[in-house]
Amino acid sequence: MRSEKVHFPSSEQEQLTGRLELPVDQHPHNYALFAHCFTCSKNLNAVKQISRALTGLGYGVLRFDFTGLGESEGSFKDTNFSGNVEDLLAAAQFLEENYSTPKLLVGHSLGGAACLKAAFKLPDIQAVATVGAPANPDHVTHLFSSKLDEIEANGKAEVNIGGRSFTLKQQFVEDLRQQQLEDQLQELGKALLFMHSPQDTTVSIRNAETLYKAAKHPKSFVSLDGADHLLSNSADAEYAGKVIAQWAGRYVGLPEEPDLKTADQVVARLDIDDGFTTDMKLGKHYMLADEPRDFGGNDYGPSPYELVSAGLAACTAMTLQMYARRKKWELQHVEVHISYSKKHAEDCKACETKDSKIDTFERTVKLVGDLDDSQINKLLEIADKCPVHRTLHNEIQVKTRLTDQ
């Protein structure tokens, strides 16, 4: 995963801070926005784990701090739920202007309710996933119910949530009470996924039941059995992220495999704007080739020489196992390690100068099994006879022709 800190203005021109996380081996096929829980931040473990699971499956994810929380500017006491929704809209605008329009919203707890609200104003959003979300935003008032009378009387009060002290104003409470989701949800017109734990003691699973019943299809529910509200167990958060990624793929539109057709065994395609990132079709299989970043590439795939080395390594392993099976030898496991470089020639009679270099593949073989010394020596001898090894030692010709097909 690649991660970078980003900044963008809220509707009130406060600077919001986020983390944009990108897949390590490809350009994102879609972008997602993540809204954290009430009084949490983008750095909550569950937020990070779910985001990483999404990036691992090709999504770009922007997780950010709402106004007055984490690293974002502004005063939390002057914010409200409506402001959180506006922050989501600002984040979506930032992605659209600088990267690509987001297609997926993911929200945890009150952030899930904010995502459902924001989705009404984001026509390009195709899917919304919530984790432990309340059916109506004012559900969170139970977290500070003992302070409601004080807020009513004085216009504000200090409340303790999750071991931290926050100032809440009357306008915050009033705004929560004016927000309704249940009656509006059937008009949303987005694919919806509600994830909730039956053991959630902060937001009862009945909230997920209410949301699910209110929504129209396509809608889905996934039980996070055994998880707590904050998904403190990393395995629960990772599971949630992977399920969201797979589910959303049906609705956000995943790219098709490159349209690479050839009567030959391999085809490579590279457009003018792609740098070194090359679409490859090897037989029936698709992959990317690239160069390392220090060479000007994106490092989204193996380099050409790594592909050659991979062919030698795979061929060696296959040949050794095939030979051992034919001999009925107990070769349980074989590993072949290859490194490539150009080295000064040794005992090279045909070299132009004493400083000439030749292509060198260093091959290290690990053999695991009940093998005696004679068997091991024979297998090392056979390694030098694998077809790719022989090809590299033979005289090779490459014929090039032009085609418009």
For 190-212, write each residue's pLDDT tens digit: 999 999 999 999 899 999 999 99
Output the CA–CA distances (angstroms, integers) from residue 116 to 52, 62, 104, 123, in the order listed.
22, 17, 11, 12
* 3-state secondary structure labels for all residues of 227-240: CCCCCCCHHHHHHH
Structure-token pair, residue 146: 């003992």
Overall average pLDDT of the 356-367 stretch = 89
Residues in Cβ contact with 163 at an 8 Å cutoff, skipping those fewer than 6 apart: none
CB burial readout 269-304, b (16+ within 10 A) else e: eeeeebebbbbbbeeeeeebbbbeeeeebbbbbbbe
In the β-sheet with 2-9, what is the strand arrangement from edge to edge?
Answer: 2-9, 15-22, 59-64, 30-35, 104-108, 127-131, 191-196, 219-223
CA dist., res. 162 & res. 36, Å (int): 14
At 206, list the tokens. 């009945």
| Spatial distance between the Cα atoms of 358 and 296, rounded to a whole number of angstroms | 25
**3-state SS string for 56-101:** HCCEEEEEECCCCCCCCCCCHHHCCHHHHHHHHHHHHHHHHHHCCC
**Residue indicated by tokens 């074989």:** 334
Q: Are 197 and 224 in contact (CB under 8 A)?
A: yes
Q: Which two tokens stand for residue 23?
A: 């897949």
The letter for the amino acid at 133 is: A
Tell me the whole-structure pTM to 2 decimals. 0.71
- Is the omega angle on the peptide bond into residue 218 within 30 degrees of 0, that is, cis? yes
CA-closest candidate to residue 264, choices 283, 288, 287, 289: 283
- Kindly report, residue by residue over 244-288, the tens digit of the pLDDT: 999 999 999 887 766 677 777 888 888 887 789 888 888 888 788
pLDDT band, very low/low/confident/very high, at 354 (cuts 50, 70, 90): low
Give pLDDT tens digits for 112-145. Answer: 999 999 999 999 999 999 999 998 887 778 777 7
- B/e letters for 370-393, b = 16+ CB within 10 Å, e = fewer, are ebeeebeebbeebbeebebbeeee
- The token duo for 79 is 């914010």
Per-residue model confidence (pLDDT) at position 157 = 83
pLDDT band at residue 183, thresholds of 50, 70 and 90? confident
Cβ-based neighbour number of residue 55 at 10 Å: 24
Give the whole-angstrom CA distance, residue 305 versus residue 342: 11
Contact between 163 and 189 under an 8 Å Cβ cutoff? The reply is: no
Domains of the chain, start order: 2-252 (3.40.50.1820), 266-393 (3.30.300.20)
Whether 140 contacts 67, CB under 8 Å: no
Half-sphere exposure (Cβ direction) of 285: Cα atoms closer than 13 Å: 4
